[in-house]
Amino acid sequence: MSTKPNHARLYRNVPPYLREMREEAGLTQRQLAAKIKQTQWWVARCESGSRRIDVAEFIEFCRGCGVDTRKALDGLAGNG
């Protein structure tokens, strides 16, 4: 049986990293969602790992948190 994409080894660090990034920015899920024109439910699903985000969404998430995308990717790569 194959591994679901959301649970692939390389993706496991992404959801907690998203939450950490948002919390360090001092934002609630609702505040971030408003900044990036998404719903609180969408942010929660991304942070819980029940929804996988693509590169463009990751960039928007970073921008919403006021984090440089390259630094975020470096930080994420360091967690892997």
Look-up of token digits 């971030």? 32
What are the tens digits of pLDDT across the range 16-60?
A: 999 999 999 999 999 999 999 999 999 999 999 999 999 999 999
The token pair at 50 is 């029940």
- Confidence band of 78 (pLDDT split at 50, 70, 90): confident
The predicted model scores a pTM of 0.85
Rounded to whole angstroms, the Cα distance separating 73 from 16 reads: 14
Rounded to whole angstroms, the Cα distance separating 51 from 42 reads: 8
Query: Between the CA of residue 6 and those of 2, 34, 52, 56, 74, what are the distances in Å?
Result: 12, 25, 6, 17, 20
